[in-house]
Amino acid sequence: MNVAPIPNPGDIGRQAVALRISGDQAAFWGCGFFGAQDTLHDDKGRHYFRDCYIKGSIDFIYGNGKSFYQNCVLISLANPVDPGSTGITGVITAQGRGSQEENTGFAFTNCTVGGNGRVWLGRAWKPFARVVFANTSMSDIIAPEGWNDFNDPARDKTVFFGEYNCSGPGANMTTRPPYVMRLNDTQASPFLNVSFIDGDQWLQPYI
């Protein structure tokens, strides 16, 4: 937990990490991560998060890890918005894949997204950011566009932002930008189980 105050969008120097994980082959079962901006620094390595509770406001899951999030609850603490406002007050992910050669990314499967504010599922912190949400329930806090290219249209051609079989009012993809992928079964398959992080080679069974 990091108890630093919740920043407003655009505030400088208000990041407050609760946990940074930079080791390879790390697993978290039933853990809670609490903060505001940059709560969980999923820095590098292969990681598994199951039945975890992650709370934050801006970029609250970020880094260049290759991680599989299963049955997790993601709660936004972003500032509420006035009715009719189109402003963005939070972001769930900021993935840091910097080149085509980096085999990193975040995969969320069977998760729940809720809380406050109007938020993006992710923004392209680095040009080749890779994030997929699959079989996930999304509340109406998700902005209709869903994602952001970090205000750099060049990244539209390099990011990999995908959604697959998600539900809830926030999962409506009709106004997503063209660079957001509505994944089919084949495209989604690599992101749906622990094989995404080579878990069959190192992940220990939960007892």
Q: What number is the average pLDDT over the span 90-111?
A: 96
Tokens of 78: 């972003």
What does the mean pLDDT of the chain come to?
A: 94
Mean pLDDT check: name the lowest of 21-25, 169-173, 203-207.
203-207
Q: Is residue 203 part of a domain?
A: no
Q: Is residue 185 part of a domain?
A: yes
Whether the Cβ atoms of residue 128 and residue 96 lie closer than 8 Å to each other: no
Q: Is residue 2 part of a domain?
A: no
Residue 12 above 90 pLDDT? no
Mean pLDDT check: name the lowest of 10-19, 25-34, 72-81, 191-200.
10-19
Q: What number is the average pLDDT over the span 40-51?
A: 97
Residue 5 above 90 pLDDT? no
Active site (catalytic) residues: 38, 59
Q: Which domain holds residue 143?
A: 29-197
CA distance 69 to 53: 10
What is the CATH classification number for the domain harbouring 51? 2.160.20.10
Residue 84 above 80 pLDDT? no
- The HSE-up count of residue 147 (CA atoms within 13 Å, CB side) is 33
Residue type, 39: T
Instruction: Report the number of distinct structural domains present in the chain.
Output: 1
- The HSE-up count of residue 24 (CA atoms within 13 Å, CB side) is 6
Whether the Cβ atoms of residue 111 and residue 142 lie closer than 8 Å to each other: no
Q: Is residue 204 part of a domain?
A: no
Of the candidates 140, 139, 73, the residue with the CA atom closest to the CA atom of residue 112: 73
Q: Is residue 20 part of a domain?
A: no
Q: Is residue 67 part of a domain?
A: yes
Looking at residue 207, its pLDDT comes to 58
Model confidence pLDDT, tens digit, residues 104-160: 999 999 999 999 999 999 999 999 999 999 999 999 999 999 999 998 999 999 999
If pLDDT is split at 50, 70 and 90, which confidence band does 190 have?
Answer: very high
Q: What number is the average pLDDT over the span 185-206?
A: 94
Q: Is the dihedral of CA 180, 194, 184, 142 positive or negative?
A: negative
Mean pLDDT check: name the lowest of 12-16, 95-99, 159-163, 166-170.
12-16
